[in-house]
Amino acid sequence: MTTATPREMLTEALGALGATLRHHRDLGFTALPLAGEYLLSPAEALRAQERALAGCRRCKLCEGRTTIVFGAGNPRADLVCIGEGPGADEDAQGLPFVGRAGQLLTKMLASVDIPRDEAYISNTVKCRPPGNRNPEADELAACAPFLAAQLAVIQPKVILSLGSVATQALLGTREAIGKLRGKVHPYGSAVLIPTFHPAFLLRNPGPEYRRMAWEDLKLAKREYDRRRTK
């Protein structure tokens, strides 16, 4: 494993500090006390964001949730997977992608030699929509700063967006997933690669969708291997 240089460590710490400050700004804070530790590692910064999110009532999804599902995985991941929102299993356990769709996601990543624990996994909204419906525009907007803060801390090189809701929210478009997938989309300093949500693949197990998802995963793997060496 390569050891980071002092300069790289300082750059990382300052990046995490900036992300943490932006996150608190988005929560409505106009000042922070000159006490405490703000030069946080990515893991510490994510834990701080999760603590700050506790009890969030910024949208109506708070009314039916059991647990806020913040995200989980490697805080220094080069690959981040983003779905649309927690389901029943995720709401019960407080972790993303732990049900049948999560099991399939693990297999999808493994099929291109990416262990799940090497990635970071989250959703566009952190609370379960009632009946697993799609998140609504105001709910996506309420959670957008939290997802942006997560990505600012992790600074991934590749984002795998799972399904039309996540892809459209991240790219700011209404284009169908069928037109967006199969391509590399610039996303800040990273690239975004859309594919089908694992839950969709479970509902549509035919060979055509499996083939397209496999193509997307291979594309994500190529970008992952190419960019993580830089």
Q: Which pLDDT score is estimated for 17?
A: 64
Using the predicted structure, report yes or no on whether residue 84 has a pLDDT greater than 60. yes
What's the whole-number average pLDDT of the chain? 90
* CB-CB neighbours of 87 under 10 Å: 22
Please state the rounded mean pLDDT for residues 141-162: 97
- CATH architecture label of 6-28+40-228: 3-Layer(aba) Sandwich (3.40)
Q: How far apart (Å, rounded) are the C-alpha atoms in residues 149 and 165?
A: 19
Q: Model confidence over 163-194: pLDDT tens digits?
A: 999 999 999 999 999 999 999 999 999 999 99
Q: How far is CA 67 from CA 48, 55, 85, in A?
A: 17, 9, 12
Q: Which pLDDT score is estimated for 39?
A: 72
Tokens 């493994």 belong to residue:
110
Instruction: Domain ranges for the chain, please list them.
Output: 6-28+40-228
49: closest CA among 145, 128, 125, 116? Answer: 145
Global confidence as pTM: 0.84
Using the predicted structure, report yes or no on whether residue 138 has a pLDDT greater than 90. yes
Please state the rounded mean pLDDT for residues 51-75: 97
Exposed/middle/buried for residue 176 (C-beta within 10 Å: 0-12, 13-18, 19+) = exposed
Using the predicted structure, report yes or no on whether residue 88 has a pLDDT greater than 70. yes
Q: Model confidence over 3-40: pLDDT tens digits?
A: 556 566 556 666 666 666 665 565 555 655 544 445 78
Q: Which pLDDT score is estimated for 16?
A: 64
